[in-house]
Structure 1
Amino acid sequence: MHFPKITLEKLKELEYQKYGDSPTIKSYTKWKLFEENSPLKLPTEAKAGEVKIKAHVFLSGSEASFNLPAGVELTEGTLGLSSPEESRILGFHFYTLKKAYKLKIVEDLKEPLVIISHLSEKAFISHHVSIEAENVKAPIVIYDLSEKGTKSLVVELKARNADIEILTVGKHTSLSHYLLRASLGERAKVRAFTLIKGGVMSHHREDYSLEGKESQLILRGIPIGVGSAIDYLTNVLQYGEKSKSETKVHGFSYQNGWAVHRGVAKVFESAKNSVSEVISQITIMDEGSLGVSVPMLEVDTGEIEAAAHSSAVRQFDEDALFYLRSRGFGSEEALNLFIHGIGEALSDHLERLRGKARGNIAELIEGLL
C-alpha cells in the first residue's frame, strides 16, 4: 500500500478546516458540496476517460498508465509530506486512495514531464503523485481535469540543489480538491505558474516550505471563476537563511463566478537575510460576481532583506468597456473579448513551454475561458 490510511471512525471526527489553516476564519470553499459528494456517498471506482493530450503519467478514474522518459524512475508510495488526519478533505483523499506513485528525477529533462489527473464519471476518485529531484533541472506540466463527480489530486515535491519549473493547468466543471506541497532544500529553485478555472467548487492549495539556505520560490497564479467558484490558497514558509519567495496572484470572476485568493507568507527567525513578497489582486468583471483577496505576511526575524505584501479587489475598467462599446460591441461582447484577451496574453507568457508540453496549451487556455 505504501501510504497512510485512515479508519472510517477517525474520518468522521475530522473537520474540513481549522481556524489556523488560513489567514481568515471564514472559509470560502463550499464544503457542504464536498460532503454531499464524498466517498461515503459516491462510488470510489471509475473508468478511464479520453483526454486529447499525451502524457508520461496518465491518471484517469481508477486507472493509471505510464510512458516515462529517460531519467525518471517510478516506484509506489509517498514522500510523507501530507497526512490523512490533517483535515476531512485529506481524510477523504487517503480513505479513497488505491495507489500512490513516486517519481524520482535522476537526470536533467529537456522536455517537460507531463502528468494528467482526470475524472469523467460521477464518483469520488483520489490521485497521488510524489516527485523527488536533486542536482537536476526539470520542467513539469500538470493537467488537473475534472468533468463529473469529485476528484482529489495531491502532488508532493522534494527538491534539493535543483531547478524545477512547474506549470499547472486546471479545468473543472465539477468538484475538485488539489494540494501541491513542496519542500525546498538547499539551493533549490522552484518556478511555479498556475492557471486554473474553477468548477462547481474548486479548492486549490499550494504549500511551499523553503527549508534550505538560498532556496527560492517564484509563484504566479491566475484563478478564474467564470460562472464557477475557486478558492485558491498559497502558503509559503521560509526557514532557510537567504531564502527568497515572490508570490503574485491575479484572479478574475465573471458571470456570477467566485474567485478567491488567500495567501500567506511567514519568515521564521532562522531565515535571516531573506526576501518575501505576496501580491494579491482580483478583478471582478461584472455585477453579481465575487472577488476576495486576503494576503498575509508575518516576519519573525529582524534581519530581513526585504518583505512586502499588498491586496487589491478591482472592478472591470469601465473606460475600456465604454471604448469597446463605442466601437459597436455590446456589453456582453466587450466583456467576453476582454476575458479572451487574457487567454492570449497567457499564451504569449507560456510561449517557451507551449511547444514542449505534448499538447497545445494555447487551445487549453482558450477552453478555460
Structure 2
Amino acid sequence: MRSNGLSKEHVHSITREALETLTYQKYGDSPTIKSYTNWKLFEENSPLKLPIEANAGSVEIKANVLISGSEAKFDLPKGVELSEGTLGLSQPEESRILGFHFYALKKAYRLKITEDLLEPLVIVSHLSEGAFISHHISIEAENVKAPIIIYDMGEEGTKSFVVEIKAKNAEFELLTVGKHKGLSHYLLRASLGEETRVKAFTIISGGKMSHHREDYSLEGAKSELVLRGMPISINSAVDYLTNVLQYGEKTVGETRVQGFSYENGWTVHRGVAKVFESAKGSSSEVNSHIIIMDKGSLGVSVPMLEVDTGEIENASHSSSVAQFDEDALFYLRVRGLTRKEALNLFVHGIGEALSDHLEKLRSKARSNIKELTEGLL
C-alpha cells in the first residue's frame, strides 16, 4: 500500500486536567439511558495507564484504509480524496470515553468521495497489542453512490474508533463488522442531508467489553435510514446503542436489531428514535429483540420512541427478551445436527434475513455473518 500526501486540518485535543472533570455518562439514573457498559474496565485500561502507541499487527483483509496500532496505510480508489482532520461531529468534552479518545489520538483522517464507487471502500481499524489506541475516520460525500465496509477489530488492549459521516444527496450501503477480544469503544456519528439514503447493517462479536454506539441525524428533507443490527455475545459483553434523530420533513428512520447472548454472555441493545416537530410527514420505527440462548446469559432490550409532531406518517416500537425456542432446537437435532450446529444455523439464518436489505454488500455481509457465528456457539 502507498501513503498519500495530506492536507492538514485541526484535530481536537484535551488536557489531562480537563479529563478529570468528565464523566462517562451524565444521567445514569433513567432506565432508558442507564449505563450497561462496565466503564470501570475502561478506567483501569485508560490512556492514563496504558501506552498510547502500538506497532501494526497482521491483518489479512485487503483494505483501502488500514489503521493498525499507530500506523496507517492507504490504497485509495479513484474518486476518493484524503486529508487530515475531523468533521467536528464529536467533541472530547462530551464524555470521559471521548475525552480518552481525543487524548490518545495521534492523527485523524478525512476521506472525500467525489464520484460513484463501483467496489466497496474498505476501512480497517485494528489493534493487537496491550495499549490504548484511538483511530478516527471522517467521510464526506455529495451526489454520489458508495458501498462502504468498516472492520473494527481488537485482539488485545483497548481501542477507541470514531467514524464521522456527512452526506448530501448521496446513497450509502454501509456494512460494519465488529470483532473484539479486549475492550472496544466505537462511535459512528452520521449527518444525513436532503435526499440522502443509507442502508446499514452492523454485526458485532463482543469482546471483554464492547461499547458500540451509532448516532444518525436525519437533517435534510426526504433523508432515509434503514438500519439492521446483530450484536452477539458469547462469554463476552456487548452494549449496543442506536440513536436516530429526525429533523427533516418526510424523513424515514427504521431500526431493527436482533441480538443473541450465549455462554454467560451479556447482550444489550438500547435504541432511541426521536421525531422532532420540524419532521412533519415522517415515519419512525425501532424494534429491539434479544434471544438468550442458554441459562446464565443476559439479554436487555430498551427501545424508546419520542414524537414531537402530530403530523406523522407512522411511528412504532417493539421490544422483547426471550429464551431460545427449544422445540426448534429439538426439530433440528432429530435431523442429525449437534446442538452447536443447530444454534449456528439458527443465528446464521436470522443474520442473512437481516442483511437482505443490502444490495452490493449482500454477499460480503453473509460471509461475515458466517465467519462470526460458525464455530462460536
TM above 0.5, yes or no, is yes
Report the CA distance between 1:18 and its aligned residue. 1.7
Count of residues paired in the alignment: 368
CA distance in structure 1 between the aligned counterparts of 2:236 and 2:308, rounded to whole angstroms: 38
Structure 2 residue 169 is matched with structure 1 residue 161: yes
Shift of 1:255: 0.7
**TM alignment of 1:1-369, pairs within 5 A:** 2-19=10-27, 24-327=32-335, 331=339, 334-339=342-347, 342=350, 352-353=360-361, 361=368, 364-366=371-373, 369=376
Provide the rounded CA distance (Å) in 2 between the counterparts of 1:285 and 1:356: 26
- Report the 3-state secondary structure (helix = DSSP H, G, I; strand = E; otherwise coil) of the residue aligned with 1:64: strand
Match of 1:320, SS? helix
Task: Report SS of the residue matched to 1:153.
Answer: strand
Deviation per residue, 1:176-217 (Å, 9 max, x gap): 000000000111111111011110000000000000011111
Provide the rounded CA distance (Å) in 2 between the counterparts of 1:25 and 1:275. 23
Structure 1: distance between partners of 2:374 and 2:338: 22
**Residue-by-residue CA offset, 1:252-281 (whole Å, 9 max, x unaligned):** 001110110000000000000100000110
Tell me how large the CA RMSD over aligned residues is: 2.2
* CA distance in 2: counterparts of 1:360 and 1:302, whole angstroms: 43
1:30-69 Cα distance to aligned partner (Å, 9 max, x none): 0001011100111111000011110000000000000000
Contact residue 354 and residue 362 of structure 1 kept, 8 A: no
Q: Distance in 2 between matches of 1:222 and 1:102?
A: 28
The superposition leaves residues 283-317 of structure 1 with CA deviations (integer Å, 9 ceiling, x where unpaired) of 10000000000000000001111100010111100
Q: Is the 8 A contact 2:200 2:358 kept in 1?
A: no
User: Normalised by the size of structure 1, how large is the TM-score?
Assistant: 0.94
Looking at structure 1, the residues matched to 350 and 250 of structure 2 have their Cα atoms a distance apart, in angstroms, of 35
* Rounded Cα–Cα distance in structure 2 between residues aligned with 1:170 and 1:124: 17
Task: Classify 1:362/1:334 alpha carbon distance in 2 versus 1 (closer, same or farther; 3 Å).
Answer: closer
Q: 1:25 to 1:104 in 2, by over 3 A?
A: closer
Contact preservation (8 Å) 1:242, 1:275: yes
Instruction: For 1:218 and 1:283, locate their aligned partners in 2 and report how far apart those are by CA, in whole Å.
Output: 22
Give 2:176's aligned amino acid.
T
- Which SS does the other structure have where 1:75 is aligned? strand
- Asked if structure 2 preserves the Cα contact closer than 8 Å seen for 1:325 and 1:331, the reply is yes
Structure 1: 5+ residue runs without aligned partners? none
| Residues 1:166 and 1:351: Cα distance change in structure 2 (over 3 Å) | closer
Residue 337 of structure 1: how far off its partner (Å): 4.9
Q: Which moved more, 1:338-347 or 1:33-42?
A: 338-347
For 2:92, what is the secondary structure of its paired residue? coil
Cα displacement string for residues 321-367 of structure 1 (whole angstroms, at most 9, x for unaligned residues): 2223445656555445544555666787768426679x964664346
Given that residues 159 and 185 in structure 1 are in contact (C-alpha distance below 8 angstroms), is that contact kept between their aligned partners in structure 2?
yes
**Preserved CA contact (<8 Å) 2:28 2:34:** no
Question: Aligned pair in 2 of structure 1 residues 248, 368: CA closer, same or farther (>3 Å)?
Answer: farther
Greater CA deviation, 220-229 or 323-332?
323-332
CA distance in 2, matches of 1:351, 1:308: 26
Closer, same or farther: CA 187–352 of 1 in aligned 2, 3 Å:
closer
Name the amino acid aligned to 1:41. K
Residues 1:334 and 1:111: Cα distance change in structure 2 (over 3 Å): closer
Residues 351/185 of structure 1: CA separation in 2 closer, same or farther (3 Å cut) = closer
Letter in 2 for 1:272: K
